[in-house]
Amino acid sequence: MNFFTRWVVDFAYFLNTSEAYQHKKRFVYDILENDKYQYKRYFDIFMITLIFLSVAILIAEVKSEMNIYLKILNVYIISFIFFIEYLLRFWISSSVSEIIINKSEHATALGREFYLYRALINAMKTKLIFVFSFKAIIDLLAILPFFHELRLLRLFVLFRVFKLFRYTKSFQTFTSVLSTKKFEFFILLMFSSIVIFVSSVLIYVMEAHNPKSPINTLFDAVYWSVVTIATVGYGDIVPVTMEGRTVAIFVIIAGVSLLAFTTSIVVSAFTEKLDEIREIKTIDNIRKLKHFYLICGYQNVAQEVVKKLKDSKISIIVLDEDIHRIENAKKDGLIAVNYDPGDIESYKKLGIDINVQVKSILCLRESDIENVYTTLTVRSISKDVNIISLLMDDANRNKLKFAGANEILYPKGIVGMISKELIGRPVAFEVIHALRNDYYGVDVEEILVDDRMSQNILYVSELNNSKFRVILLGIYKKDTKRFFFNPLESTLLESGDYLLAIGNSAFMREFEKHLHKKIRK
């Protein structure tokens, strides 16, 4: 290996291991290509705005003299931004350093000599694949208006509109759906080309010699054929001879059937892909959510939980591998995805950040095996997310705990405990039950003592809860995780504490407002 080759390989290693370089490249990739990256949306919106601005300036320029600044913006600044974007896309399209390293390591492993030029040719090939890709060509054409002196090139501004394909997902979906019917469209294209060719030649032969006929050239004939086959029929060119009109009848019939064929292909493409499109849209919506509860398994308990949580500001997402249960969830107005909650791939496909987006995961299948499996899967992805699971058989409690469930609900045990209360303190039980379920308009609330509140209300005696006919059941101290029942008036309120208050819902709201508004004099 000569000095230059060694230097290039060393430099490739340097780039590949440089955290700063890789971080920057990753950032550029995220902003340009990664749909999951939260700031990509803003970049896309910025580029779309530039595109529309550019086209608007072009239109305005047609009939009036354009302001010099707008001209500079359109011709130089926007073009320059697109040029930079093109270069960045070229940069991230492949990694030259990685190709060099791979080739070098491959040669070393096989004991062969490493030829730098071969690695560079390989790298060039991958770059050329990018350069000749449809989207990259559009990008390049969109930069051409930079050469403003060539007036014709100004029309290349319109290529900027095609750049919208990059930034709007619906366009991409549309093209991806249509691309599934490539073969049918090819057949259609061949058929229409043959019809246009044959009818153009025929109409030219039949009409061109007639001085009354408007068809004088082959171009007139092709134009007439295309207009007729497309069922547009402007009427500016019409056949005048009997033979020409006979050709027209066949072209019209062919045109109608062609149109029907095209429509059916497009419709069938969308029908076949509809579920997939909906799923993509659903997943996209899920990714945008800041917080949500993830319900794994939509059976009886899950359905009731959803009813209870319907007034909550936090969204609910349902995952279930059973399509019927997913349909039920959708009927209940929920965002539901037909993925197996026990499969790690499901979460990868969803592309969500469990630690940040998911408030709690509820394993509500009526099968301990499924719940243990789901709990284990989720726990393997996130150590911190709160998992609540249903337990059907008490013998499996340890398994669920071991799998990592934070809270376990055993309905049979609940029945036993309720029975005990119902025979011991039935009235007290009913009262608590009514309180917890907001019957009679009476509410139990957890009121968070925030920084501002703790600065303005120092002691329990300053709460003034009795004025609002609200009872302070106690204070939950977050730092010690202890509940202080019926606290003394001298108890200090600290930020992060929770007040457990009971009272009429309307009074409770007033009380909360009072707590937030109160200012210490």
Angle between helix 78-92 and helix 19-32 axes, rounded to 10 deg: 120
Please spell the DSSP secondary structure of 347-378, one letter per residue: HHHHT--HHHHEEEEEE--S-HHHHHHHHHHH
Residue 429 CB, nearest distance to another protein (Å)? 7
Q: Counting contacts by CB under 8 A, is residue 128 touching another protein?
A: no
Candidate ranges 201-209, 221-229, 254-262, 425-433; the one touching another protein (CB under 8 A): 425-433
x/- track of binding to another protein for residues 375-404 (CB under 8 A): -------------x-x--xx----------
Q: Does 360 bind another protein (CB under 8 A)?
A: yes
Task: Rule CB under 8 A: say whether 473 interacts with another protein.
Answer: yes
Q: How many residues bind another protein (CB under 8 A)?
A: 65
Q: Which two tokens stand for residue 466?
A: 């009795």
Scanning 210-241, the segments in alpha helix (DSSP H) are 218-229
- Of 304, 345, 353, 450, the one binding another protein (CB under 8 A) is 304
Element holding 318 (H helix, E strand): strand 315-319
Q: Are the C-beta atoms of 137 and 130 separated by less than 8 Å? A: no
CB of 104 closer than 8 Å to CB of 9: yes
The residue from 133, 486, 492, 516 that contacts another protein (CB under 8 A) is 486
Does 332 sit near another protein (CB under 8 A)?
no
Q: Does 421 bind another protein (CB under 8 A)?
A: yes
307 near another protein, judged by CB under 8 A: yes
Question: Does 419 interact with another protein (rule: CB under 8 A)?
Answer: yes
State the residue for tokens 């190709």.
99
Question: Can residue 298 be called a binding residue for another protein (CB under 8 A)?
Answer: no
Q: Contact region for another protein (CB under 8 A) — 117-125, 182-190, 301-309, 319-327?
A: 301-309
Q: How would you list the strands of the sheet with 498-504, edge to edge?
A: 442-448, 498-504, 471-477, 482-485
Query: Of the candidates 120, 381, 444, 458, which one interacts with another protein according to CB under 8 A?
Result: 444
493 vs 481: CA distance, rounded Å: 14
Stretch that binds another protein, among 4-12, 21-29, 115-123, 464-472 (CB under 8 A): 464-472
Taking CB under 8 A as the criterion, the residue among 40, 148, 330, 359 binding another protein is 359
Give how far the C-alpha of residue 299 lies from the chain's centroid of Cα atoms, to the nearest Å.
27
The two tokens of residue 119 are 């690695």
Among 240, 277, 309, 381, binds another protein (CB under 8 A): 309
Residue 53, CA distances (Å) to 75, 157, 338, 388, 490 in order = 11, 10, 41, 51, 65
Given a contact cutoff of 8 angstroms between Cβ atoms, the answer to whether 146 and 79 are in contact is yes
Residue from 272, 284, 353, 407 in contact with another protein (CB under 8 A)? 407
Nearer to another protein, 280 or 435 (CB): 435
When asked if residue 312 is in the footprint of another protein (CB under 8 A), the reply is: yes
Task: Report the SS3 class of residue 425.
Answer: coil
Report the C-alpha gap between 379 and 382 in whole angstroms: 5
Q: Is 483 in the site for another protein (CB under 8 A)?
A: yes
Measuring CA to CA, which residue among 347, 386, 331, 344 is closest to residue 363?
A: 386
Strands of 1-108, DSSP E: none
Footprint of another protein (CB under 8 A): 293, 300-301, 304-305, 307-309, 312, 359-360, 362, 364, 388, 390, 393-394, 407, 409, 411-432, 434-437, 440, 442, 444-446, 469-471, 473-474, 476, 483, 485-486, 498, 500, 502-504, 507
